Amino acid sequence: MDFELTDEERAFQEAVRKFGDRFLRTRERQIDTEGRIPDDVLAEMARLGLLAMPVSTEYGGMGASAVLTELAAEEIGRGDFSMATAVFFLLEAGWGFILDRHGTEDAKREVLPAVCAGKAFLGIATTEPSGGSDLANMRTRSQRYGDGFSLRGEKSFVSGVEEAKRLGGGHLTLTRAEEGGFNFLYVPTKSPGASTQKFQNMGRMGISTGAISYDGVRVPRSYLVGAEGKGFGCAMEGFSVARTFVSAACIGAAERALETGMAYIKERQVFGQPLGKFEGIQFELVDLWVQVEAVKWQCRRAAWLLDRYTLRGDHSHRAEVDRAVASVKLTAPPIAFEAVKRVMMWFGAAGYTKDVGLELGMRGVMSYLVGAEGGLNIMRIILGRELLGKEFLANQ
Ligand SMILES: Cc1cc2nc3c(=O)[nH]c(=O)nc-3n(C[C@H](O)[C@H](O)[C@H](O)COP(=O)(O)OP(=O)(O)OC[C@H]3O[C@@H](n4cnc5c(N)ncnc54)[C@H](O)[C@@H]3O)c2cc1C
């Protein structure tokens, strides 16, 4: 067991923190109000190798480990408190990895270099208007058509619909296959027959969320991810990877909130002394810090397990990986939200202003409490199944 980061990992972490300080902290309000991540920020991310980090070097990525990507996600969550940049980052990392692992050579050559260069967006489309948790009940269908597939249906609450239209690119889309099972298909957002609608979110405004309708959208067979009818497993593998990076981004946001709070309670004078000298505040700080520290190591372990098994295509420890990922996705967002909320209260009335900016983090982290990358109860369902066994639950 070794908890030490390597020199390379530490140097990379520092480089990403510098990027976050220079490009994200200074621009997060602009990202939130303008509703997009500026092109120069994406260009710098591409230059640093931050876009779709785990993608192999052959396709323009840096072939990064999950641990290195997790470290970067923390720093990006700390840098852009609104979480918009973190969402962009982690979608490309998680789903870029899946396309690299399970996509065809043609699709990889066409899509991944552009994604890694910041010239195309890659996201995930599984949720439908009828629900996102019960994926097995989805209605969007793909049927064989010529040497490819034709899609009909609708996806909902999909991140990056506008970015995929503006930059190019699309979403890995889970569909019910005509012959049974699920087809996982890369669908360019600008495909004929595809139309989008943007939703008005309350947070992480720098990345859009919306619906995509498919009215006989045709995609070539080369856009199939994984084997025909077997796409569900590929999507679940992607969720394991992406949920780990979501959790890391939440941890970065929590650390930023605590740093902001600590600086303030050392300065703010109440009843003749700094706020931080009162044990009522100190104890809150300590309780939050301990929780953030615990979930950070839980997250690093999840990333370590991904490196050891999932990223090598080894599914022999799937239950262990699922438990670790579901645990961290269950705990990191609520802890981050609580940290932001408590620090906001230390600021008193000032915490309620946009000048202090804690509301950016609160609105952003909330997306992971309501459901993005899987609701909290879904993590509980995964863990309950792992702890009690599918057989026991099926026989109840
Ligand atoms: C900002 C944002 C971005 C998103 N981006 C994407 C994206 O890029 N691609 C995509 O496909 N989806 C995306 N989603 C959708 C997300 O995946 C879904 O919100 C999530 O899967 C939950 O689905 P739902 O919202 O339909 O809630 P429902 O499935 O209707 O569930 C409602 C609530 O009930 C809980 N619940 C569900 N089943 C049970 C049960 N059996 N027992 C107890 N509780 C239960 C859920 O946890 C949730 O809290 C995004 C969501 C948000 C908020």
Give the Cα separation of 207 and 315 in Å (integer).
Answer: 33
Look up residue 247 and give its two tokens. 């959790």
pLDDT at 113: 98
Whole-number Å distance, alpha carbon 201 to ligand 1 midpoint, is 14
Ligand 1 lined by 137 (C-beta under 6 Å): no
Q: By three-state DSSP, how is residue 131 classified?
A: strand
Main-chain phi, psi angles of 73, to 5 degrees: -60, -40
Whole-number Å distance, alpha carbon 376 to ligand 1 midpoint, is 9
Q: What percent of the chain has a predicted confidence (pLDDT) above 70?
A: 100
Ligand 1 lined by 388 (C-beta under 6 Å): no
Ligand 1 lined by 274 (C-beta under 6 Å): no
User: Any residues with CB less than 8 A from the CB of 187 and at least 6 apart, and which?
Assistant: 125, 151, 170, 171, 172, 173, 194, 212, 214, 217, 219, 223
Neighbours of 6 (CB within 10 A): 11
Ligand 1 lined by 38 (C-beta under 6 Å): no
Question: How would you write 211-268 as a 3-class SS string?
Answer: EEEEEEEEEEHHHECCCCCEHHHHHHHHHHHHHHHHHHHHHHHHHHHHHHHHHHHHHC
Ligand 1 lined by 367 (C-beta under 6 Å): yes
pLDDT at 396: 58
Q: Over the stretch 193-229, which tens digit does the pLDDT of each residue have? A: 999 999 999 999 999 999 999 999 999 999 999 999 9
Q: Over the stretch 50-59, which tens digit does the pLDDT of each residue have? A: 999 999 999 9
Q: Do residues 16 and 48 make contact, with C-beta atoms less than 8 angstroms apart?
A: yes
Give the Cα separation of 93 and 73 in Å (integer).
Answer: 10
Output the pTM of the full model.
0.97
Q: Which atom of ligand 1 is nearest to the CA of 126?
A: 11
Residue 182: which of 228, 125, 128 has the closest Cα?
Answer: 228
> Cα 193 vs. chain centroid, distance in angstroms?
28
pLDDT, average across residues 39-51: 98
Give the Cα separation of 165 and 184 in Å (integer).
Answer: 20
pLDDT at 371 over 90: no
pLDDT at 251: 98
Whole-number Å distance, alpha carbon 371 to ligand 1 midpoint, is 4
Residue 234: which of 277, 184, 303 has the closest Cα?
Answer: 184
Q: Over the stretch 98-111, which tens digit does the pLDDT of each residue have? A: 999 999 999 999 99
What domains lie within the chain, and their CATH numbers?
7-121 (1.10.540.10), 122-223 (2.40.110.10), 231-394 (1.20.140.10)
DSSP 8-state secondary structure symbol assigned to residue 181:
S
pLDDT at 311: 95
Ligand 1 lined by 208 (C-beta under 6 Å): no
Q: In testing the pocket of ligand 1, which one of 82, 134, 157 has its CB within 8 Å of the most ligand atoms? A: 157
pLDDT at 395: 78
Whole-number Å distance, alpha carbon 354 to ligand 1 midpoint, is 28
Give the Cα separation of 332 and 244 in Å (integer).
Answer: 10
pLDDT at 154: 98
pLDDT, average across residues 287-313: 97
Give the Cα separation of 79 and 35 in Å (integer).
Answer: 17
Q: By three-state DSSP, how is residue 94 classified?
A: helix
pLDDT at 308 over 80: yes
pLDDT at 132 over 70: yes
Report helix angle 84-102 to 39-48, nearest 10: 50
Look up residue 85 and give its two tokens. 């940049």
Q: Do residues 322 and 334 make contact, with C-beta atoms less than 8 angstroms apart?
A: no
> Cα 320 vs. chain centroid, distance in angstroms?
21
Q: Over the stretch 258-279, which tens digit does the pLDDT of each residue have? A: 999 999 999 999 999 999 999 9
Q: What is the mean pLDDT of the chain?
A: 97
pLDDT, average across residues 124-141: 94
Ligand 1 lined by 370 (C-beta under 6 Å): yes
pLDDT at 184 over 90: yes
Q: Which atom of ligand 1 is nearest to the CA of 201?
A: 1
